[in-house]
Structure 1
Amino acid sequence: MFSGFAYDGEYPVSFAACFGHVDIYDYLIDHGADPDLQDSFGNTALHMVVITDQKDMYTYMVKHHRRPAKTDITNKANLSPLTLASKLGRHVIFKEILELASIEFWRYSNVTCSAYPLTNLDSIGPNGDTNWNSALMIVIDGETDEHLEMLEGGVMRQLLDEKWKTFARRRFFERLVIALIHLALISVVVYLRKSKDLLVYTQAEDAVRFTAEILVCLFCIGILVMEVVEIGSQGFIGFLKNCEESKQKTHWSMKSVVFIVEIQDH
């Protein structure tokens, strides 16, 4: 859908845009060509210049004097030109798309105050649900050096920093403290546990072990309660997608269930 030796769009206007032929592009537009027409993959001419990494042509098409190309059309993969650039790791044209979509409030010398729309950029959609096709989610899941470059500075880095400071940092340290205490209690239980007669308490260390076992169970129940709350806040489908993306999270939840079942068996 995004690459091929002979894929430069299915319409003359897309073909002209892919090779940066401005004169031919203008000629086609003047004679009724539609740059927003979608091909069999749902790609418009703007999608095609993103695929071929034609930054200057993208700018020209968006600012065209007669018929500016629309930037919010999505293809059959539900990708806009912005999210397509993030998926392909086109960091140069990605930054250009962001700048073209920004609103400049004021400029003083080389200092600029601008606002950037978050519709296709942020991982949180307009209704508060998770936008899995957002540029941020796609870039974070990327595996190339180009995806890392897209996170080094600019709007993406600022967006991540704000998310970390307002939400993720506190939750990270809360989960870290819970995990450390939980692991410490499990270590005590494993170290002091006997091979038989688990319910017989004859020494002080048996009382310590029994108390640690109770606390481990309570921690496991608390972890499962937090998972239920998370399901309620982001939906079951979103929770499953998070588990799919984070295998450690899945193992952590399954471990809590196994611990509770194991204790009940004994």
Structure 2
Amino acid sequence: MDTTEQEEVLLPLKTNYQGYVAWGEYPHNFAAVLGQEECYRLILAKGGNHDFQDINGNTVAHILVVFDNMKMFDMAVECGAAINIENKMGLTPLTMAAYLARMDMFFHIASIEREVYWQIGNVTCSAYPLKYLDTIHSETGELQVNSALNLIVFGPNLDLIEYVIVDLLNVKYKSFIRKVFMRQFIVFLCFLLLSVFVFVTRPGPPPSTRPCDFNATALMYSNSTDLNSTLLGRVGLDVEGSGMDLVGSGLDYVLENLTDFLSLLETNSNATAGLLLNSNSSSTNSTSLKKVSGKKCKIPEDEKDYCYLQSYETTFEQVRVGCEMVLVVWSLGYLLSALHELSFLGWKMFKENLGMCPSRCLFLTACFLCLICVPARIFCYSGLEDRLSICIMGFTGFYMLFFCRGFKLVGPMVIMIYRMLAQDLAKFGIVFFIFLMAFSQALYMVFQSFHFTTENDELAAKILENQGNCPSGEEDCLENPMPTPIESIIMAFMMSNGDLDGVWQSLPFTSHALIGKIHWALFVMIVYLLLLNLLIAMMGDTYAKTVLITERGIAPKERLRQQDAYCDINSFGEKALVMKQFLSDEKVEEINEIIEMKITHRKNIDRRRAKFGYESVSKMGLNMVGASVIVPDSSDGTEPENPYEDEPTINKSALMGDFEQ
């Protein structure tokens, strides 16, 4: 970005280095980008330094990676260009190739940096430096977000997960990631089984209603003979002695003393309905008390038992409560582990980690909700605890998807689901929502004129008695499928899932049947057939991210200890990954060319230091000092060209004399 307040150009913090004139700001960079090898060598002979950095911190090696020019890159390295200088984003040419997904350039630079120990035919033993390749810092054990492995695995192009990257992932997985991953899987599986036992065996809430003891017109009481006698005796009636069957004046006496009946029923909680006081008389003056069988009344709020979960009387309830306590402590342990991980990862990387594993984010939420259940249990908020338990069980199960990614049988399916939810489903949802809103509101306007008519007089009479609504159980009666705008959206969504018959059969009973059928047909063709099949077509590296996500949860000291276990030390005293490889004939020939390049590289660095005093940070070729120099331009037997030697003095007189002769 240009500004009038200062001369220096303001650059974005992150860039892809693409541009029409982003050629590195130095003449030798321009020559390299344009492929002018002679011009490049001439600039170096006149004192050009190919390790100079532009405003982005890029050297000529970085620029040639951006433009993916491998031929000029090899020429620059041969002339002494360093490939271990970091730019302002902390990227070397190797990591920049990973960042920009330059596949051929990345593996070519990795081949240049490796150190070949021995070669027998097509079998080689090589050491790849881990300083910029591995995600673990070689000295501190901290995570390197700008490492090649991290940029490739979490970058846009997973095609670079080949060769040395695959070998490095396998070494890390076999050395310590597999053990950590399986331990986490077993621990979570036990947690899941325990949570299932705890929540499945929870007692349900007590009923909110109970049989009505009495009301204004009915009296319910026990069908026990002793209790009946007691009740009647309290109001002065002798059932056995008087021979009364509770009719006539005797029943009137009972009704007059109804208050005593009620007070006795309230003191006897075992009173139940069962006896019907019935009058055998047909007299119009007689009064009968009718039995109310099965009628329910709401239990008053002050009589409800909200602490039913605090019942620990039986052995089974005591075992369940013990398991609940273990589950709460276990959930707290998961949260403390996440906080410990946050302490050494930092908020940015921790948030990125949760974003790549949404199921873990839900699981940690479930652990937090499990802790909230404790005060809810203490203060008898049983309804709140039930709602929290539903969320806990729903969120906990999804965490199993993370561990499924580590198994080849189901890993690709889980990756596909994650990718669909994060990318494809979001794009599809936007387009689907637009069509859904458009068609639902159009069909709602069509069904505003809906009026069901029938030739069945009996059905028409029932509809009229039911205030224009279809009576229950009548299959021949159709109701308005879209009576409100909200219900029209819901119905349109159901149509997209295949429920098409209801709307189609209701269209003839509207005033706009033709245009409604046209909208129905367009909806079926566009939404139901086209968009849903497009979504299926869009759903189209299993354990690489799982390895690195698991690695991020390990403390730096432990990561450094594990790195020391799977790496070796190369001739420069740096950590390296030693591998035995079977190479093709083309790759074997490339090894010989790289050895020649390294020898020439070191010789040219020494020449530049001697003439211009330039120092280089490159270590390439230091272990090949005693080797002979073999360069491409000496294949005809002549002396190799030295671009840094002094210009020869020209004897003009001798030259003129030769010309005169």
- 1:183 is matched with 192
What does 1:162-201 correspond to in 2, within 5 Å? 162-193=171-202, 194-195=204-205, 196=306, 197-201=308-312
Which moved further from structure 2: 52-61 or 114-123?
Answer: 52-61
- 1:244 is matched with 352
Q: Tell me the secondary structure at the aligned position of residue 53 of structure 1.
A: coil
- 2:405 is matched with none
Q: Tell me the secondary structure at the aligned position of residue 89 of structure 1.
A: coil
Between the two structures, name the one with larger relative contact order (CA 8 Å, sep ≥ 6). 2
Equivalent position to 2:82, from 70, 82, 90 = 70
> What is the TM-score when the length of structure 1 is the normalising length?
0.87
What does 1:1-266 correspond to in 2, within 5 Å? 1=15, 2-64=17-79, 68-127=80-139, 128-144=141-157, 148-152=158-162, 154-193=163-202, 194-195=204-205, 196=306, 197-201=308-312, 205-230=316-341, 235-237=344-346, 241-247=349-355, 248=357, 249-266=360-377
* Alpha-carbon distance in 1 for matches of 2:46, 2:70: 24
Which moved further from structure 2: 219-228 or 75-84?
Answer: 219-228
* Alpha-carbon distance in 2 for matches of 1:76, 1:251: 37
- Compute the displacement of 1:261 (Å): 2.6
- Compute the displacement of 1:212 (Å): 2.9
* Alpha-carbon distance in 1 for matches of 2:374, 2:152: 42
What code does the residue aligned with 2:113 have? A
* Alpha-carbon distance in 2 for matches of 1:5, 1:228: 46
Which moved further from structure 2: 254-263 or 173-182?
Answer: 254-263
Q: Tell me the secondary structure at the aligned position of residue 106 of structure 1.
A: strand
Q: Which 5+ residue runs of structure 1 have no aligned equivalent? A: none
Q: Is the 8 A contact 2:99 2:155 kept in 1?
A: yes
* Alpha-carbon distance in 2 for matches of 1:29, 1:72: 20
Which moved further from structure 2: 73-82 or 201-210?
Answer: 201-210
* Alpha-carbon distance in 1 for matches of 2:345, 2:152: 24
- Compute the displacement of 1:177 (Å): 1.4
Q: Is the 8 A contact 2:334 2:364 kept in 1?
A: yes
Which moved further from structure 2: 98-107 or 181-190?
Answer: 181-190
* Alpha-carbon distance in 1 for matches of 2:86, 2:179: 35
Which moved further from structure 2: 191-200 or 155-164?
Answer: 191-200
* Alpha-carbon distance in 1 for matches of 2:39, 2:326: 73
* Alpha-carbon distance in 1 for matches of 2:34, 2:354: 41
Q: For the aligned residues, what is the CA RMSD?
A: 2.1
Q: Is the 8 A contact 2:342 2:350 kept in 1?
A: no
Q: Deviations over 1:193-249 (max 9, x none)?
A: 2335211135565345323312211321332343355456xx252x75134223334
Q: Is the 8 A contact 1:192 1:206 kept in 2?
A: no
* Alpha-carbon distance in 2 for matches of 1:90, 1:206: 63
What code does the residue aligned with 2:172 have? K
How many residues of Structure 1 are paired with residues of Structure 2 in the alignment? Answer: 256
Q: Deviations over 1:25-79 (max 9, x none)?
A: 1111111111111111111111110000112221221122xxx111111111111
* Alpha-carbon distance in 2 for matches of 1:179, 1:31: 67
CA distance 1:252–1:20, change in 2 (3 Å): farther
- Compute the displacement of 1:123 (Å): 0.7
- Compute the displacement of 1:170 (Å): 0.9
Q: Is the 8 A contact 2:95 2:132 kept in 1?
A: yes
Q: Tell me the secondary structure at the aligned position of residue 246 of structure 1.
A: helix
Q: Tell me the secondary structure at the aligned position of residue 35 of structure 1.
A: coil
- Compute the displacement of 1:250 (Å): 3.8
CA distance 1:264–1:170, change in 2 (3 Å): farther
* Alpha-carbon distance in 2 for matches of 1:242, 1:172: 18
What code does the residue aligned with 2:352 have? E
Which moved further from structure 2: 255-264 or 168-177?
Answer: 255-264
What code does the residue aligned with 2:330 have? F
What code does the residue aligned with 2:146 have? N
Q: Is the 8 A contact 1:192 1:205 kept in 2?
A: no
What code does the residue aligned with 1:192 have? T
* Alpha-carbon distance in 2 for matches of 1:111, 1:246: 42
Q: Is the 8 A contact 1:124 1:131 kept in 2?
A: yes
Q: Is the 8 A contact 1:59 1:100 kept in 2?
A: no
Q: Is the 8 A contact 1:78 1:133 kept in 2?
A: yes
CA distance 1:242–1:169, change in 2 (3 Å): farther
What code does the residue aligned with 1:149 have? D
Identical pairs, percent = 30
> What is the TM-score when the length of structure 2 is the normalising length?
0.37
Which moved further from structure 2: 203-212 or 46-55?
Answer: 203-212
- Compute the displacement of 1:263 (Å): 2.1
Q: Which 5+ residue runs of structure 2 have no aligned equivalent? A: 1-14, 206-305, 378-661
- Compute the displacement of 1:134 (Å): 0.8
Rg larger for: 2
Which moved further from structure 2: 184-193 or 93-102?
Answer: 184-193
Q: Is the 8 A contact 2:341 2:350 kept in 1?
A: no
- Compute the displacement of 1:252 (Å): 3.1
Q: Tell me the secondary structure at the aligned position of residue 125 of structure 2.
A: strand
- Compute the displacement of 1:10 (Å): 1.4
- Compute the displacement of 1:18 (Å): 1.8
- Compute the displacement of 1:21 (Å): 2.2
CA distance 1:253–1:240, change in 2 (3 Å): farther
